[in-house]
Amino acid sequence: MKWRFLEEKIFRAVMIIATSLTALILILIIGTVVVKGFKALKLEMIFRLPQGGYYFGREGGILNSIIGSLQLAGGATILAFFFSLPIVFYLNYFSKSKSIWPTLIRFSLDVLWGVPSIVYGAFGFLLMTWFGWTASLLLGIITLALLEIPIMSRAMDEVLKLVPPDLLEASFSLGATKFETAWKVVIRQALPGILTAILIAFGRAIGDAASVLLTAGYTDNITTSLFQPVASLPLAIFFQLGTPYPEVQQRAYAAAIILTLIILLISYLSRRITRRYAKHLVF
Amino acid sequence: MSLIIGRPHISLKNLNVYYGHLQVLKNITLDIPDRQITVIIGPSGCGKTTLLKTLNRLLDSVEGVRVEGRVLVDGEDIYSPGVEVTRIRKKMGLLSQRPQVLPMSIYDNVAYGPRIHGLKNKQQLDQIVERYLRIAGLWDEVKDRLSEPASRLSLGQQQRLCLARGLAVEPEIILGDEPTSALDPQSSQNVEKCLLSLKSQYTVLLVTHILRQARRIADYIVFLYLGEIVEHGPAQEVLNNPRDPRTKAYLSGEIS
Ligand SMILES: Nc1ncnc2c1ncn2[C@@H]1O[C@H](COP(=O)(O)OP(=O)(O)OP(=O)(O)O)[C@@H](O)[C@H]1O
Ligand SMILES: [Mg+2]
């Protein structure tokens, strides 16, 4: 057999092995969580606060953590967006072509992307001790936003690079400024990618335990102020798994199922929205 | 050399354009007549697109470009410091080689220009959209689907939409960079007809490599070769009695 055909076969095999291994591991993880948590998964988990005198809750639900996680990740995503958008506009449209800054900024963002989240948590904790704050929703949001900014902005950066230059010229030739072009044309064209970037960042934030551990605290109640501690699903899972009681551990897995479902729901919704806007795109 | 009737709308004086070290336009001096169709012909790579982009300063955003000399529009040097680029561009509508619609509805494409220049009134916008879509000969085809994405139109329709969009900012000059090269013959004819009907009110500057198109619509011809103007003058004169041997060679298809 000719080498070219052998090459093709080998490459095929490698692709199939890699893909199926990944799929298998994913199935194993989700399978474990579902099997272990399924029994504890009751509707009241979603609708009630922890009950039963335990801080981690042997009974009742994890409504505090669900709402807390949405508050934390939602707030952080909004905050991160208001930083990431100007960053990527600068990188792509407003920086001087010979300037060294865009390269430097992209490099720093890439480095920050790889920094473990516990380091962000420690940084938030430092802020807290310097200023004499206590663990709170606000501090958790700020820390998570720091975690999200590199992810969101680099993902959006890659998307903006794909916007055709002719489209920009079309807008400029009508007398639009760079800002108008970026705001009214680029955003529309890049919207699906921007939404994906936001979603990736949100997913990273809502699943992260280490950065909220030291900064957001924990509570059995629903948080109504930016300055109170807030519960979160990853910490609920972390704490409950750490107890010696099997029935509490089971509830941790149930919480993990809920966290996974939330992420699924959000990616589904964002895909729906994206499709609504994608019809306007030009190529 | 022949005389231009009336004042020139655009005057180029000793224009040199460089991409880095490569000089693309060489010492161009040219008057473009008001409210006529001026057609720029010349072989591929001779600098036609560059010349158009020099006029509306789209060249500004290209890296490493240097422009020397003067470009006067209505007597104003558009490259003198302090000139607002957006105001210059608003004076000119550009049709590019491939129609480039904006990622929004048909209506919003036409309304985009007026909106960024401050028009908010819905009724006025409606009127503008209808008026310019009619002028571009597109109204009857799209009047029932104004809110549909512009990207669903055929290429020929998209090019006419781009024309309507450009006209909606009320320019004085229309720049066309081979605007029919991506279109089928019928659509090309439509666009040509539009341009012909527009010359009573607009100065039209058109790049083409289709000699028959030049014969059909040009009042004034500029032959550009390797970045230099070889010959320019009234269309009949240049097309029928070229003086320069290079123009002769180009017109007879020996250089392309
Ligand atoms: N951004 C750029 N950087 C460097 N050189 C460029 C750039 N754009 C164009 N050129 C060069 O400038 C010359 C003129 O290009 P231009 O696009 O103006 O030619 P043209 O006459 O429009 O050609 P065509 O008929 O193929 O469209 C070409 O040699 C081209 O390679
Ligand atoms: Mg060209």
Q: What is the pLDDT of residues A22-42, one digit of tens each?
A: 999 999 999 999 999 888 888
The pLDDT assigned to B79 comes to 94
What is the pTM for the complete model shown? 0.85
Q: Which residues pair with B94 in a beta bridge?
A: B175
Which of these CATH numbers, 3.90.930.12, 3.30.70.20, 1.10.3720.10, 1.10.10.10, describes A43-278? 1.10.3720.10
Q: What is the pLDDT of residues B132-166, one digit of tens each?
A: 999 999 999 999 999 999 999 999 999 999 999 99
Judge whether B170 is closer than 8 Å to chain A, CB to CB. Answer: no
Residue B63, burial from CB neighbour count under 10 angstroms (0-12, 13-18, 19+): exposed
**Beta-carbon separation of A184 and B149 below 8 A:** no
The pLDDT assigned to B182 comes to 86
Q: Which residues contact B132 (CB under 8 A, 6 or more apart)?
A: B110, B164, B165, B167, B168
The pLDDT assigned to B2 comes to 47
Q: What is the pLDDT of residues B103-142, one digit of tens each?
A: 999 999 999 999 999 999 999 999 999 999 999 999 999 9
B72 near B201, Cβ under 8 Å?
no
Which atom of ligand 1 lies at the shortest distance from residue B209's CA?
25
Residue A152 phi/psi, 5-degree rounding, is -65, -45
Q: What is the pLDDT of residues A47-74, one digit of tens each?
A: 888 876 555 667 778 899 999 999 999 9
Q: What is the pLDDT of residues B83-101, one digit of tens each?
A: 999 999 999 999 998 999 9
Q: What is the pLDDT of residues A76-95, one digit of tens each?
A: 999 999 999 999 999 998 88
Ligand index nearest the alpha carbon of residue B40? 1
Residues in A closer than 8 angstroms to B56, CB to CB, are 173
Q: Which residues contact A281 (CB under 8 A, 6 or more apart)?
A: A188, A189, A192, B103, B149, B151
The pLDDT assigned to A57 comes to 62
Calpha distance B166→B93 (Å, rounded): 4
Among B116, B154, B158, B175, the strongest candidate for a mutation testing the A interface, having the largest count of A CBs within 10 A, is B116
The pLDDT assigned to B108 comes to 96
Among A229-233, B26-30, B180-184, whose mean pLDDT is lowest? B180-184
Average pLDDT over residues B208-220: 92
The pLDDT assigned to A96 comes to 81
The pLDDT assigned to B6 comes to 67
Structure tokens at B96: 């590019």
ipTM surpassing 0.85: yes
Average pLDDT over residues A180-194: 92
Q: What is the pLDDT of residues A101-155, one digit of tens each?
A: 999 999 999 999 999 999 999 999 999 999 988 999 999 999 999 999 999 999 9
Residue nearest to atom 25 of ligand 1 (CA): B44
Pocket probe mutation, ligand 1, options B24, B28, B230, max atoms within 8 Å of Cβ: B24
Provide the phi-psi class of B253: left if phi over 0, else alpha when psi is between -120 and 50, else beta: left
The helix (H) or strand (E) run that includes residue B238 is: helix B235-240
Residue with more model confidence, A159 or A283 = A159
Calpha distance B8→B222 (Å, rounded): 14
Residue with more model confidence, A9 or A277 = A9
Among A98, A173, A183, the strongest candidate for a mutation testing the B interface, having the largest count of B CBs within 10 A, is A173
Calpha distance B129→B197 (Å, rounded): 18
Q: Average model confidence (pLDDT) for chain B?
A: 92
Calpha distance B250→B41 (Å, rounded): 9
The pLDDT assigned to B1 comes to 42
Calpha distance A167→A194 (Å, rounded): 17
Residues in A closer than 8 angstroms to B116, CB to CB, are 174-177, 180, 184
Strand locations in chain B, DSSP E? Answer: 8-19, 22-33, 37-41, 65-73, 76-77, 92-95, 173-177, 203-207, 220-225, 228-234
**Beta-carbon separation of B103 and A169 below 8 A:** no
Residues in A closer than 8 angstroms to B101, CB to CB, are 170, 282
Ligand index nearest the alpha carbon of residue B209? 1
Ligand index nearest the alpha carbon of residue B25? 1
The pLDDT assigned to B161 comes to 96
Q: Please report, for residues B3, B31, B63, the alpha-carbon distance to residue B6 in angstroms, rounded to integers and kept in the order given.
A: 9, 11, 37
Q: Which residues does ligand 1 sit against, CB inside 6 Å?
A: B 19, 22, 24, 44-50, 62, 209
Closest C-alpha among A220, A216, A239 to residue A229: A216
Q: What is the pLDDT of residues A228-255, one digit of tens each?
A: 999 999 999 998 888 888 888 888 899 9
